Structure 1
Amino acid sequence: MRNRIKPPRLAPGDTVGITAPASQGDRSKIERAAGYLIRMGLNVRFGGTLSGQHGYLAGTDEERAAELNAMFADPDIRAIVCARGGYGSARIADMLDYERIRDSPKIFWGYSDITFLHTAIGNRSGLVTFHGPMLTCLAEEPVHPLTLQGFEQLFHPKPVVYTENISPLVALVEGEADGPLVGGNLSLLVSTLGTPYELDTRGRILFIEEIDEEPYRVDRMLNQLRQAGKLADASGILVCDFHNCEPNKYKNSLTLEQVIRHHIVQAGRPALAGFKIGHCSPNIAVPLGVEARMNTAQKKLEFIGPAVE
């Protein structure tokens, strides 16, 4: 991992670009949700991909990659917020201008399918990015105050701290760990393996979240991470929200908790579960690539410094 570059903080009057690097969303809902950003004092510029369609994608790979590259190159755009996830981010990873991203650092925000881009951008450019709710999430009323509060870290260089004041946390493996935070959606993290953008967990705190995957599928993905050494290489592990990951196909099934405990405890790294990060409400936004410290006795995740300059 390159030395991490922190993007400049936002100020009222700055412009945010809204793009769809994966699937298309409902433009009317996205425009309505952008009102939250406008009320924060920001200007909003909508990309053409919000109206694009190429099957299940928000335009061709070339169109989506070109728009993201253009937003990173545009000096008037100070932050890029993804409209939605879905599928398709990995298809444009080979087309991004990582040198431009490194030389023109700015806030990049999203989650779910955007996990692949977080991993690729972090590996190739060293830019700190943000795992946070997209506009399709903000279009679902009501929006939890803590979900919106996550945007404050973009304006004020104040470290994020997660304690049980937000949600109950459970120690799976006792201990302390520190290192840059990496991770995101489990299925997308697994999809990086064997690619030029492969997840690197060495000396890092790994967090995982998922949606709509049955326990046997979660088992398969965690097993693959384990066999690839990604769990044992991590300094610590955070288990976040696994939304609607219940048995369906198999009548006799291991529970999600059994699957997670099997792989995480076997890895032997300090591990905490219960974080409201992912496809959940609230959806707590966290910076990727910033040094963090976890303590299972204190049940706390604390970032060492701010994520913006």
Structure 2
Amino acid sequence: MKKIKSRALRPGHTLGLAMPASPVKKEALDKAIAVIENLGFHTQLARRFEKNNPHFLAGDISSRVGELHQLFVDPEVDGILCLRGGYGTPGLLPHLDYSLIAKHPKLLIGYSDITALHIALQQNSKMITLHGPMAATDLLEAPPFTVEHFLQSLRAESWPQRLVNPEHYPMKTLVHGMATGILTGGNLSVLVGLMGTPFEIDTRGKVLFLEDVGEEPYRVDRALTQLALAGKLDEAAGFILGTCKDCTSTAYPQGENVLAVCERILAPYGKPTIYNVQAGHGDFQLTLPLGAGTRVDATNKHIDILESVVI
């Protein structure tokens, strides 16, 4: 499969700001624009901002799809940075023109609900995308580690590279061994929501990354069990477990925590597995190139991106 790679992004380039899921408030948008411009980028919106949007979606499907199409084809826009996640991205997937997007490749950056876009663009447009911090949420108060790795990830000279957690947050081994494959995955709940659709994740021979937020351990169990029953865990080459923020149990405080659930369900597959990787809904965030060739050396706790992510 020939991958489509996008142009590297550097200060002076223009980032199109997208809202494929939930809306942002005007105050957050203004702050996001200021932060991005302080990093040296220009910003651009593709549609009129709804100042007092009372809904849980940032517009109807046609306006959100049109926004993405316009940002991809606009020659003045160099990359696309999502303002936030929330809810609503999966509803766009049947309406996107994947051939059009593939003809105008640009880095798309985001995570959480944006996982749906990552999977669809990887599998339908053969693109590499970035699982990384978003403009109106994470980047507003991101620690230097998150910002620096985000900027490094946009630049061609940062790849290939070894992913390294911030100091005092060591990666840990759940299952020893080494595996190589295309990096895929994202938010566990979103991935499970795509099962049984034309956009369900393809894990065959791939390194599967998983993270989540605000889920009880029993819900993580349910989601992993669904992936297991669908054969997605057996087909994967290895696993990377990111952060699971606010996933301690209130319903069963004396029961298993999320790590114990992951160990019970994933370890029997015997596939190389690293956990405590600082990517996802945590205070620190690595930016991950979904769609890129990746090697997981769980024994030595190393994750290596094996190819250039951008051109």
Give the TM-score category using the shorter length.
over 0.9
Letter in 2 for 1:268: G
The 1:164/1:112 distance shift into structure 2, 3 A limit, reads closer
Q: CA RMSD in A?
A: 1.6
Residue 163 of structure 2 is matched in structure 1 by 162
How far does the alpha carbon of each residue in 1:51-80 deviate from its partner, in whole angstroms, 9 at most, with x for none? 273621001111111111111111111101
SS in 1 for 2:136: helix
Which residue, out of 229, 232, 235, partners 1:233? 235
Q: Distance in 2 between matches of 1:31 and 1:308?
A: 29
User: What are the within-5 Å matches in structure 2 for residues 159-198 of structure 1?
Assistant: 159=159, 160-163=161-164, 166=167, 167-198=169-200
Structure 1 unaligned spans of 5+: none
Deviation at 1:176?
Answer: 0.3
Name the residue aligned to 1:253: 255
Runs (4+) of structure 1 exceeding 4 A deviation are none
Aligned to 2:28: 29
Q: Is the 8 Å Cα contact of residues 33 and 138 (structure 1) preserved in structure 2?
A: no
Structure 1 counterpart of 2:8, one-letter code: R
User: How many residues get paired?
Assistant: 307
Q: Identify if the C-alpha distance between structure 1 residues 154 and 164 changes in structure 2 by more than 3 Å, giving closer, same or farther.
A: closer
Distance in 2 between residues matched to 1:88 and 1:55, nearest whole Å = 11
**SS of equivalent residue, structure 2 residue 152:** helix
Q: Cα gap change, 1:269/1:114 in structure 2, threshold over 3 Å: closer, same or farther? A: same
Check the 8 A contact 2:12/2:40 in 1, yes or no.
Answer: yes
Aligned to 1:8: 7
Query: TM-score when scaled to structure 2?
Result: 0.94
Residue 77 of structure 1 aligns to a residue whose secondary structure is coil
Which of 238, 242, 245 is the aligned partner of 1:243? 245
SS at match of 2:195: coil
Work out the percentage of aligned pairs sharing the same amino acid.
Answer: 35
Shift of 1:131: 0.3
Asked whether the 8 Å contact 1:241–1:280 carries over to 2, the reply is yes
Q: How far apart are residue 162 of structure 1 and its match?
A: 1.7
**How far did 1:290 drift?**
0.6
In the TM superposition, residue 165 of structure 1 has moved relative to its aligned partner by 5.3
Runs of at least 5 residues in structure 2 that lack an aligned partner in the other structure:
none
Pick from 279, 282, 287 the counterpart of residue 280 of structure 1: 282
Q: Would you say the 8 A contact 1:158–1:305 is kept in 2?
A: no
Task: Spell out, residue by residue over 1:176-226, the C-alpha distance to the aligned partner (whole angstroms, 9 max, x if none).
Answer: 011110010000111111111110111111010000000000000000111
Counterpart of 1:271 in structure 2 is: 273
